[in-house]
Amino acid sequence: MKLLQNIVNRLRGEWALSIRRQLAWSFSLVALAIILISGYFLYSYQRHFQYAQGTQSAQELAQALAVSSTSWVLANDLVGLQEILQGAGNVAGIRFIVVLSPKGEVLASTLPEYIDRYFSDAISQRLLTQPAHPQILQDEANLIDVAAPVVTGNRLAGWVRVVLTRDKANANLREVAVAGFAIASLLVLMIVLISIWLAGRLTRGLGRLSDVANDAEHGRAFRREDSARPDEVGVLARHLYRMLDAREAEEKAKNESEARFQAVFNNAAIGLAQVSTAGRFMQINQAFCKIIGYTQEEVLLQDFTFQRITFADDLAADMNYVNKLRSGELDSYTLEKRYIRKDGTLVWVNLSVSLLRDDAGHPLYFISAVLDSTEWKRAEEELKRYKDHLEEEVQQRTNELVLARDAAEAANRAKSVFLSNMSHELRTPLNAILGFSSMMHLDKMLSEDQRENLDIINRSGEHLLTLINDVLEMAKIEAGRVQVEIAPFDLGNLVRDVTDMMHLRAQEKGLQLLIDQSSEFPRYIKGDEARLRQVLINLVGNAVKFTPNGGITLRFGMKPHTTPQRLLIEVEDSGIGINAADQLRIFDPFIQVGELSEQQGTGLGLTITRQFVQLMGGEISVTSSPGAGSTFRVELPAEEVEAADISRPEKVEIGEVTGLAAGQPEYRILIVEDQLENQLLLSKLMKNLGFQVKVAQNGQQGVALFQSWQPQLIWMDRRMPVMDGLEATRRIRELPGGKEVKIVAVTASAFMEQRAEMLAAGMNEFVRKPYRFKEIYECLTRQLGVQYTYADMPQQAEDVRLSAEMLAELPSPLRRELRAALESLDEARINAAIEQITDARLHKTLSYLADNFDYPAILNALEPDQMVNVI
Nearer to ligand ADP, 445 or 590 (CB): 590
Give the shortest CB-598-to-ligand ADP separation in angstroms. Answer: 12
Distant-in-sequence contacts of 751-758, Cβ < 8 A, 24+ apart: 751/419, 751/420, 751/423, 751/476, 751/481, 753/481, 754/718, 757/726, 758/718, 758/725, 758/726, 758/729
Nearer to ligand ADP, 492 or 603 (CB): 603
Nearer to ligand ADP, 17 or 628 (CB): 628
Nearer to ligand ADP, 200 or 550 (CB): 550
Nearer to ligand ADP, 350 or 466 (CB): 466
Helix, strand or coil for residue 55?
helix
Give the shortest CB-614-to-ligand ADP separation in angstroms. Answer: 15
Nearer to ligand ADP, 126 or 459 (CB): 459
DSSP letter at 510 equals T
Give the shortest CB-566-to-ligand ADP separation in angstroms. Answer: 23
Nearest CA to 829 out of 812, 817, 841 is that of 817
Please give the single-letter amino acid code of residue 750: A
Give the shortest CB-579-to-ligand ADP separation in angstroms. Answer: 10
Cα 514 to Cα 497: distance, rounded to the nearest angstrom: 14
Give the shortest CB-514-to-ligand ADP separation in angstroms. Answer: 15
Cα 741 to Cα 706: distance, rounded to the nearest angstrom: 9
Query: Rounded to 5 degrees, what angle do the CA atoms 711, 713, 716 make?
Result: 110
**Residue pair 638/563 in contact by the 8 Å Cβ criterion:** no
Cα 28 to Cα 137: distance, rounded to the nearest angstrom: 46
User: Taking the CB of residue 625, how many other CB atoms lie within 10 A of it?
Assistant: 13
Nearer to ligand ADP, 372 or 572 (CB): 572
List Cβ neighbours of 783 (8 Å cut-off, separation of 6 or more).
713, 742, 744, 764, 765
Cα 107 to Cα 118: distance, rounded to the nearest angstrom: 9
Give the shortest CB-543-to-ligand ADP separation in angstroms. Answer: 5
Nearer to ligand ADP, 46 or 602 (CB): 602
Give the shortest CB-459-to-ligand ADP separation in angstroms. Answer: 16
Cα 824 to Cα 830: distance, rounded to the nearest angstrom: 9
Nearer to ligand ADP, 287 or 475 (CB): 475
Cα 116 to Cα 101: distance, rounded to the nearest angstrom: 10
Pairing of strands 692-696, 668-672: parallel
Nearest CA to 696 out of 676, 677, 678, 671 is that of 671
Helices marked H in 75-144 = 78-88, 122-128
Give the shortest CB-458-to-ligand ADP separation in angstroms. Answer: 20
List Cβ neighbours of 749 (8 Å cut-off, separation of 6 or more).
420, 423, 424, 718, 768
Nearer to ligand ADP, 279 or 589 (CB): 589
Nearer to ligand ADP, 470 or 778 (CB): 470
Give the shortest CB-844-to-ligand ADP separation in angstroms. Answer: 35
Phi, psi of 466 (to 5 degrees): -60, -45
Query: Residue 273: in which H helix or E strand, if any?
Result: strand 271-276
Burial zone of 822 (CB within 10 Å; 0-12 exposed, 13-18 middle, 19+ buried): buried
Helix, strand or coil for residue 660?
strand
Nearer to ligand ADP, 435 or 541 (CB): 541
DSSP secondary structure letters along 211-241: HHHHHHHTT------STT-SSHHHHHHHHHH
As a dihedral over the C-alpha atoms of residue 421, residue 426, residue 429, residue 434, rounded to 10 degrees, the angle is -140
Nearer to ligand ADP, 64 or 593 (CB): 593
Per-state percent for the chain, helix, strand, coil, to nearest 5: 55, 20, 25
Give the shortest CB-649-to-ligand ADP separation in angstroms. Answer: 30
Peptide bond into 665 cis (omega under 30): no
Nearer to ligand ADP, 606 or 861 (CB): 606
Give the shortest CB-619-to-ligand ADP separation in angstroms. Answer: 17
**Residue pair 224/248 in contact by the 8 Å Cβ criterion:** no
Over the Cα atoms of the chain, what is R_g?
Answer: 77
Give the shortest CB-482-to-ligand ADP separation in angstroms. Answer: 17
The per-residue b/e assignment along 638-663, b for 16 or more CB within 10 angstroms, e otherwise, is bbbbeeeebeeeeeeeeeebeebeee
Residues binding ligand ADP (CB under 6 A):
542-543, 546, 573, 575-578, 586, 591-594, 599, 601-607, 630
Cα 551 to Cα 770: distance, rounded to the nearest angstrom: 32
Nearer to ligand ADP, 446 or 482 (CB): 482
List Cβ neighbours of 471 (8 Å cut-off, separation of 6 or more).
602, 604
Cα 417 to Cα 411: distance, rounded to the nearest angstrom: 10
Helices marked H in 346-447 = 374-441
Nearer to ligand ADP, 546 or 766 (CB): 546
List Cβ neighbours of 191 (8 Å cut-off, separation of 6 or more).
27, 28, 31, 32, 35
Nearer to ligand ADP, 571 or 636 (CB): 571
Nearer to ligand ADP, 284 or 543 (CB): 543
Give the shortest CB-620-to-ligand ADP separation in angstroms. Answer: 11
